Structure 1
Amino acid sequence: MEGQPMASAAAPELPIAPALTEGEDAQWHRFAKATMLGAALRLWAFVVVIAVAIGQQSLSDGDFDDLRDFLVQLGIAWLWRILGILAGLGILATIGAAISWRFKKFAITQEGIQFKSGVFVKKHLHLRWDRIQSVDVTQQFLARLLKMGTVKVESAGGGDSLELGLLTRDQCEGLRQAILTAENQARSGEPVRISNWETPLEGVLAPASEQPIYRLTPKRLLVSMFISPSLLSGIVSLAGAIALVVFESGAAAIPLILVLLGSIWSIIKAFANKWDTSVFLASNGVRVRAGLFSTTATTTPPGRVHAVEIYQPAWWRRFDWWVLQVTVASSATEAEEGSESSTILPVATREEALRMLWVFIPDLGVEDPDQFLEESLEGSGASARFVAAPRESRFLDPFGHKRNAMAITRTAAVMRWGGLWRRSMRVVLHDHYQSLELNAGPIERHLGLANLSLRMVATSVDTEQTHLRLADARALLWEESRVGAERRKVAEKESIESWHARVGA
C-alpha cells in the first residue's frame, strides 16, 4: 500500500526469558501454620535471655540484694502489668508472623526453585538447579517436638540460600529427594520431572538409598565426654566453690560457680550436638545426621572436599579414638565462623577414620598407602617421604617438633603435626588450594626456620606446616607449585558415578 513500508520477510521474534510468575507449571505451596509461632517464641526467648543476663550481672557485681529490693518495691500489680504487656507483644508478634506466613510460599518448577515473601516489600527469588550445592534437613527443638523440620538449600557462594519450612518431617524428606532428583536431571541434560514430594515416605530416618557406614554409640560418646578437659575444669571449679563456701563466704564462690555452669553448659551442648551421630553413603554424597534436642542432617559431596584432617586428642590415645573433619567448598561461611559443621566423625576408631578417608580421597598418590598412613599417624622424624622440622624448632615447639613433617605426593600435600594436646594428619588436594605462602617471624628467621601455608578460600582444617628449615620450606614450595600445576593441568575429577561404584553407594 502506498505510504506504508514494505518488508520482504517477517522480522525474527526475540527470545523471551521465562517470566517469574504463577504459571501453569508452578504449583505454589505454603508452609505449616506452626511456622507463625516462631516470632512469639523468639520474643519470649529474648525476654528470658535479658532477664538471665541482668541476674548474672547483678550476681557478679554483688548487687543481688538491690535487685531483690527493687522487685519487692515494684509490687505485684506492676509485675502483672509487665507480664500483660509482654503477652500483648507476643500476640502482636504472632499476628505479624501470621500475615508474613500468608505471603510466603514456594514452588518447584522446571527451571528451579521459586520463593516469594514479603508484605510491603515483595521478594521473589529464583534458585536455578545448576546453582544448588547441597540440600539438607534440619530440626530445631520446637520443630522436633512437633515432628516438623526445615529444608535448607545451599547455593553456590551462599548468596541465595533458602530455608523451606516448617514442613512435616515426611514432607521435608520427600522435598529433599525431589530437589536432588531434579538437580541431577538438570545437570545431566535430562528433562526435569517434579515428583510428588507431599506424599509421606516410608523409612524417613533411613531411606533405602542411604547405606549406613558409621554410628556413634551412646557409650562411646559418654566415655569421650567423661574424660574431656571440660569435665575436669568443672570438677576443679566445683571443688574450689565448695572450699570457698566452707572456709570463706558464699559471695567469693560466685566466680567459680559461673565457671562451673559454663563448663556444664559446654558439656551439655557438645553432648546434644554429637548425640546419635550417624553417617550414610547417599546418592549425592556423605550424609551426616546428629542431634538430641535439634536434629541436623548435612550432605557432603565427595567431589567438593578440599582437605581432610584426622586428629587425636591426647586423652583419647588409650582408646585409639580419632576425629575426622573436612573442608568443603559449599561450607565457606561455616568455616569462617569456626562452626563444627565440617566434623564428619566426632569420635571414631582408627579403622573407621581411615575408611572414611578413602570415601573422600580415592588416591593418596603413593605406591603403598597403608604404610604411608601408618607413618603419617604414628611416625616421627624425617624419612624418604617426609621432610621433618629440624632440631632448632624445639625452642618454638618443644612437644611436637619430632612429629612435625610434610610430604608431597602425586595427588596431595600431607602434613603431619604433633603436640602436647593432640596429633594430626592433614591431607590437602593439589587442585583445591588457592595460593602458596612462605612466612617467618623474627625468632624463626634467627633460627633459620619458615612456615609453608597452602592458602584456601576458607578452611576449617589448618593447612600450614610450621617451623621447617628455610631451605626445606623453599624446596617444598617449589615442588608443590610444580606438582600442583601438573595436577590442575590433568584435571582428574572423580565423577559421582565413579564414586558410587568405588564406595558401593
Structure 2
Amino acid sequence: MTDAPPPASPPPRPEARPATRSPLSDGEWHRMHPLTPLFRGGIFLLVVGGIVIANLRERLIEWFLPMIAPGVSGDAFPDDPVDFVFEHNLLLIALLVVLGVVVLLVGAFYLSWRFHTFRITGDDVEVRAGVLFRSHRRAPIDRVQGVNLTRPMIARLFGTAKLEVVGAGLDSNVKLEYLSTANAEAVRADILRLASGMQLAHAADASPAGTRLGAAASAVSAGIAGLIDGAEDPADEPDSVVDIPVGRLIGSQLLSGGTIGLILAIAAIVVGSIVGTPWLLVGMIPAVIGFAAVWVRGITRSLRYSIAPTSSGVRITFGLFTTVTEILPPGRIHAVEVSQNLMWRPAGWWTVTVNRLSGRGVAASGADQFATVLPVGTRADVERVLRLLLPALPEDEWPLVFGHGILGPADDDPFTNTPRRARLLRPFTWRRNGLHLTDRALFLRRGVVWRRLAIFPLARLQSVDISQGPVDRALRVASVRAHTIPGRVSGTLGVLDRDAALGAFEGVASRAIAAAASDRSHRWAGHVSPAATETTGSPEVAEPGEPETAVTAQADPRGQSESRPSD
C-alpha cells in the first residue's frame, strides 16, 4: 500500500454575490424567450420537412440537381404531386394551401409563446402554459432542492438555455424553457437566494410596467443578438477544483464493467458461430453499435466537467454537446458514496455518486444522470469533492473515508464488522463488511471486488430499521438499513452482530434527532437580515461550526420507524 497523500486543503470560500433582484424576478408575469416555440416544436418541423422531402425527392432532384438524373422528365413521375397540381391547374390553390399552413404554424407558435409565462415571487416559482389545455405548475421556494441549467446544442447556438427548478416531491419540477443564457443565470441566482432564506433587494426599475416592457425588449434583443452572433455567453464560471483529462475518461470507459462484459459476449458469439451457425455474428452487430453509442455518450457527457463551490452551493457542469449545470444547495445531499471497481484499482481511480431529491418519479431516480458528481478521479480529486459535499464533517473524521473506509480495514479498525461466526454468509467480504457511527454521519463499508463506502449525514437521515431472517437469528446477526430518499446509494448492510446492530439502531435514532434539531442548512442564509443585505450588498453567512446567535433552528420533518429483531 502506498503512502497516503497529504489531505486536500478545503477550497477557498467564494464571495457572496450582491442580492439585487433581477427584472424577471419582480413577482410579475413574464414571457419566455421569443425563440422558445421554435426550440420546443423544432423536432415536429423536422419530421414534417422530412416527409415532404421524401415524397418530392424525385421532383427536387429534377429541379435542383438535373446532372444526377439527366434526361429525366416529369413523365417519369406520374404519381408526383407536383405534376398533378400542374396538370389540373391547381397551382393557385396549392400556393394558398401552403400559405395557410405557414400562417397556421406561425400563429400556433405565437400563441404558444404568448400564453407561456412565468413569475417568481418570494414564495413560489410558477409557470403557465397551453392555449386550449392550460397547465399551471408551482414550486414553493422553501422546498426548492436545486436549479439545473441545461444548454442543448441547438439552443446554445442562439445563446439560450432552459431552467429546471427541482422540487421536493415526485414529478414536481418546474421548467422554464427557454430564456437567454444571461437571464437564465440571473433567474437561477434569484431562486437560490430566495431558497436560502435571503430577502432580495428591489430591482433597479421599480415601475411594474417599465419592468415588463424592459424585460420584453431585453428578451427580443437577446433573441436577435443570438440569431446574429450565435454565441453562448454564460455568466461567470468558477474555477473547478477537479480537472479530468480526456485520456482518463477514455481509460475509465475501457476499464468499465460494461466493456469487459461486451468483450466476453463477443468472444462467446464468435465461438458459437465457429462451432455452430455463422448467423450468430449478425446478431452481434446491433449490440456493438448500441454499446458504442453508450460508450461515446459516456465520454462526451463527462467532457467539460467542472465542480466548484459557490455562494449558493456546489456547482457541477458537464457535457460537450448539451451542457448541463446543476447547483446543489447546502443540505440537499442525503447520501454520498465513493466506489472503485477492480479494473480501476491499479490506476487509483474512484467515482462519487449522491442521493438527492431530483423531483422526478421513483423509476427515474435509480437512473438519474445527475447522481454521478465525479465520473472518475484520483484520491486527491475525491477528497476535494467530498469536502465540498460534506463541509460539516469534522477534520478528525476524514481518516474514516480512505484510511479505514475505502482502503480498510487497517490497524485499529473502528468499524463494526461481520462476526467470525457468520463469515460463511460473507466469505470474501466479512472483514470489510462494516458500520461506523459518529455524531455527524453514518458510514457503511462493503465490497472487495467493488469497494464501496456510503456516507449518510444524520441530519438528512429519515429513519433506520433492523431486520432478521431465520438464518440470521440462528447466527445472532442482523441487517441494518438506513432510510433515505430513493437513489443509487444503498443504505443496507447485512450480517452484523445482533447486539452491535441494536446499539447502532439506538445510536442512530438519538444522534439523528440531535443532528436534525441543530441543522440549519435547509435555509442556509435565513439568519441574514434584509437590511444588512441591502446595505452591504452581500450576505454574511456564518461558517460551519461557528456559534449561532438569535437563530431559530429549522429541521425537516421526519418520522422514525422502529423495528427490532426477535430474540
CA contact (8 A) 1:221 1:347 kept: yes
What is the DSSP-based 3-state SS (H/G/I as helix, E as strand, rest coil) of the residue aligned with 2:183? helix
Q: Does 1:389 align with 2:406?
A: no
Q: Name the structure 2 match of 1:55.
A: none
Question: What's the counterpart of residue 474 of structure 1?
Answer: 502
Residue correspondences, number: 443
Deviation at 1:412, TM superposition (A): 1.3
- After TM superposition, list the pairs within 5 Å mapping 1:154-233 onto structure 2: 154-157=166-169, 160-181=172-193, 187-193=197-203, 198=218, 204-205=233-234, 207=236, 210-233=238-261
Determine whether 1:360 maps to 2:389: yes
Deviation at 1:257, TM superposition (A): 2.3
Q: Which residue pairs with 2:460 in the alignment?
A: 432
Contact in 2 for aligned 1:450/1:469 (Cα 8 Å): yes
Q: Distance in 1 between matches of 2:517 and 2:490?
A: 26
Query: In the alignment, which residue of structure 1 is the partner of 2:72?
Result: none
Report the counterpart of residue 275 of structure 1 in structure 2.
303
Q: Which has the higher strand share?
A: 1
Whether contact under 8 Å (2:145, 2:167) holds in the other structure is yes
Shift of 1:109: 5.2
* Residue pair 1:245, 1:252 contacting (<8 A) in 2 also: yes
Please give the TM-score of this superposition, normalised by the length of structure 1: 0.75
Letter in 1 for 2:128: K
| SS of alignment partner, residue 284 of structure 2 | helix
User: Helix, strand or coil: the match of 2:426?
Assistant: coil
Match of 2:488 among 457, 460, 468: 460
CA contact (8 A) 2:36 2:113 kept: no
Task: Name the structure 1 match of 2:163.
Answer: 151
Q: Unmatched 5+ residue regions in structure 1? A: 1-23, 49-75, 82-87
The one-letter code sitting in structure 1 at the alignment partner of 2:203 is R
Partner SS for 1:320:
coil
Aligned to 1:134: 146
User: How far apart are the structure 1 equivalents of 2:275 and 2:401?
Assistant: 57
2:548 alignment counterpart = none
- Residue 293 of structure 2 is aligned to residue 257 of structure 1: no
The residue number in structure 2 matching 1:32 is 34
1:324/1:93 CA distance change after superposition, 3 Å: farther
What residue in structure 2 maps to residue 380 of structure 1? 409
CA contact (8 A) 2:356 2:485 kept: no
| SS class of match (2:510) | helix
User: Is the alpha carbon distance of 1:227 and 1:377 closer, same or farther for their aligned partners in structure 2, counting shifts above 3 Å?
Assistant: same
Deviation at 1:250, TM superposition (A): 4.9
Counterpart-to-counterpart distance in 2, 1:241 and 1:114:
54
Q: 2:437 aligns with which of 399, 404, 408?
A: 408
Question: Which deviations, in whole Å up to 9, do the C-alpha atoms of 1:9-62 show, x marking residues without a partner?
Answer: xxxxxxxxxxxxxxx9736223232533533515867999xxxxxxxxxxxxxx
Q: Matched residue of 1:407: which SS?
A: strand
TM-score by length of 2: 0.67
Q: Distance in 1 between matches of 2:432 and 2:391?
A: 25
**Shift in Å, 1:297:** 0.8
Does 2:307 match 1:297? no
Partner residue in 2 for 1:115: 127
Shift of 1:501: 5.0
> What code does the residue aligned with 2:438 have?
T
The alpha-carbon distance between structure 1 residues 156 and 46, as it changes in their structure 2 partners (threshold 3 A), is: farther
Number of the residue aligned with 1:342: 371
Cα-to-partner distance string for 1:175-233 (whole Å, 9 max, x where unaligned): 3334445555xx2345453788858799944616x342123221211111122232233
Distance apart, 1:283 and its partner CA: 1.7
Secondary structure of 1:121's counterpart equals: coil
Q: Is the Cα contact below 8 Å between 1:137 and 1:297 reproduced in 2?
A: yes
Change (3 A) 1:29 1:251: same
1:402-426 CA-partner distances (Å, limit 9, x unpaired) = 2111111121111111232x11111
Does 225-234 or 301-310 show the bigger shift? 225-234
What is the RMSD computed on CA atoms of the aligned residues?
Answer: 4.0
The AA in structure 1 aligned to 2:246 is P
Summarize deviations over 1:415-451 as a string: whole Å, max 9, x none. Answer: 111232x111111122222221111334433443321
Aligned partner of 2:350: which letter?
A: W
Which whole-Å CA distance do the structure 2 matches of 1:79 and 1:400 have between them?
Answer: 71
The CA deviation string for residues 317-356 of structure 1, in whole angstroms up to 9 with x for no partner, is 1111111122224556477343131221111111121122
Which consecutive residues of structure 2, in runs of 5 or more, have no partner in the other structure?
1-25, 51-76, 83-97, 206-213, 226-230, 526-538, 546-567
2:366–2:486 CA contact under 8 A, matched in 1: no
Counterpart-to-counterpart distance in 2, 1:241 and 1:77: 49
SS in 1 for 2:247: helix
Give SS of 1:453's match: strand
Residues 452 and 27 of structure 1: CA distance in aligned 2, closer, same or farther (over 3 Å): closer
For residues 255 and 146 of structure 2, the distance between their equivalents in structure 1, rounded to whole angstroms, comes to 35
Provide the residue aligned with 1:351 in structure 2.
380
Please, which moves more after superposition, 242-251 or 132-141? 242-251
Instruction: State the alpha-carbon separation in 2 of the partners of residues 150 and 287 from structure 1.
Output: 16
After the TM superposition, which residues 66-81 of structure 1 pair with which residues of structure 2 at under 5 Å, given as runs?
none
Contact 1:417 1:424 in 2 (8 A): yes
* Cα distance, 1:477–1:46 mapped onto 2, change above 3 Å: farther
Equivalent residue number for residue 43 of structure 2: 41
Distance of 2:175 and 2:418 partners within structure 1: 47
Partners of 2:153 and 2:232 in 1: CA distance: 22
Contact 1:413 1:429 in 2 (8 A): yes
Distance, in Å, in 2 between the alignment partners of 1:222 and 1:80 is 51
